[in-house]
A and B are shown apart, each in its own frame.
Chain A
């Protein structure tokens, strides 16, 4: 159970089991839909894929604090201020649960943070879009957290135990996030015309980037098949995107906003909504660093980490001094 435990097969004194046996045992665990736990043997590819996915998820939570966090000091009522403050705090918490899960695989949080701020690991491209109005706070809750729920609820059954367990709590909290977003928009729609315009404008800006959150179409998603086989992932990108659209359309109607897609309509035969194709070349551009806010987001994270270094070092130094003092006291 210790997160730092290594599960490399060579760390037992007795003759280690042969790799084919271990692989067979792992395969059986997956086939029976049982959980893989930190000290179990696992194929290197499984471990690497998980670390990458969990780290990117954690980075997304942490970078995702920025677009909304910018509105905490400007929220237009004390109630909204408290809700938003708590929500952004939850995102820091989600990041921490996820880094914790990654550490059970032998990853090191400092190293993951370095990878993020050096641009070697990615985060969700959605957080590279700006939040010019307060309606963006509502739409992020409704669309982005809604999309996150579609993505994440199946992850509560992910084959890797610590990841699945972290997701249980993340999902529960995300559902509050989505509701507060929708409730904010509903309230704004009952307000002034300027507010209703603000909501529609935010919906127009966030709809397509939200659809892109599910990743490229299945045909262009080479890693998905392996992740599905390992039950790290449980639904394809396109399945999840469809689920999100079906879920959101009636909510948009109730709210009284128009989703900016002329091709959007109910398909009786499929039992699903048809919808247009997002501009995936935009997704690729933003992922590669060319989104409206990539540089700003990375700079903020890097600055916080660098400016915090003296504080982290001081705490470590104090702990070391304290330990030495206590040792001396015991010896005396």
Chain B
């Protein structure tokens, strides 16, 4: 699809490009993908994101990224991408046996 979308000015009807929107709902949390919208430029994307995705005070920060600029793994690559970490249990906190009486871990 990305090849057909292209730049806004390439589109005969002036359709605005698609942006993906990420919201940080409060300090200390990651930005999370919430959906997309259309905007002619970056400023407009942020303005629209504010009006659409945070009009009930849902966020403290917004990211807007042109959809065509996102690089993603394909589901077919799932195994080579994600399986190798499956045996590296030491990366997971439950690998470590911590006595129950040690606080705050």
- Tell me whether B75 and A41 are in contact (CB under 8 A): yes
From residue 29 to 76 of chain B, which have CB atoms closer than 8 A to chain A?
Answer: 33, 35-38, 40-41, 44, 52, 55, 67-68, 70, 72, 74-76
| Interface residues in A88-107 (C-beta closer than 8 Å to B) | 89, 93, 96-97, 100-101, 103-104, 106
Contacts of A320 in B (CB 8 A): 7-9
How far is it, in angstroms, between the C-alpha of A5 and the C-alpha of B16 when the chains are bound? 17
Complex contact A110–B13 (CB within 8 A): yes
Beta-carbon contact of A109 and B20 below 8 Å: no
The verdict on A3 contacting B36 (CB below 8 Å), with A110-B15, A309-B14, A312-B16 known, is yes
**How many chain B residues touch A (Cβ–Cβ < 8 Å)?**
31
Chief secondary structure at chain A's binding surface: helix
A108 to B77, CA, bound (A): 26
**Does A76 reach chain B (CB closer than 8 Å)?**
no
Residues of B within 8 A of A39 (CB): 72, 74-75
Residues of B within 8 A of A100 (CB): 35-37
Contact B41 A322 (CB under 8 A): yes
The segment out of A6-14, A208-216, A219-227 that lies at the interface is A6-14
Q: How far is the CB of A21 from chain B (nearest CB, A)?
A: 11
Chain A hits for B41, CB < 8 A:
315, 318-319, 322
Report the minimal beta-carbon distance from A244 to chain B, rounded to whole angstroms: 27
Contact status of A3 and B20, CB under 8 A, knowing A39-B75, A97-B35, A315-B40: yes
Q: A5-B70, A96-B37, A315-B40 are in contact. List 13 more A-B contacts (CB 8 A).
A: A4-B1, A5-B2, A5-B72, A14-B76, A39-B75, A100-B36, A106-B1, A109-B15, A109-B38, A313-B14, A315-B41, A316-B8, A318-B41
Q: Which residues of B contact A (CB under 8 A)?
A: 1-2, 5, 7-9, 11, 13-16, 18, 20, 33, 35-38, 40-41, 44, 52, 55, 67-68, 70, 72, 74-77
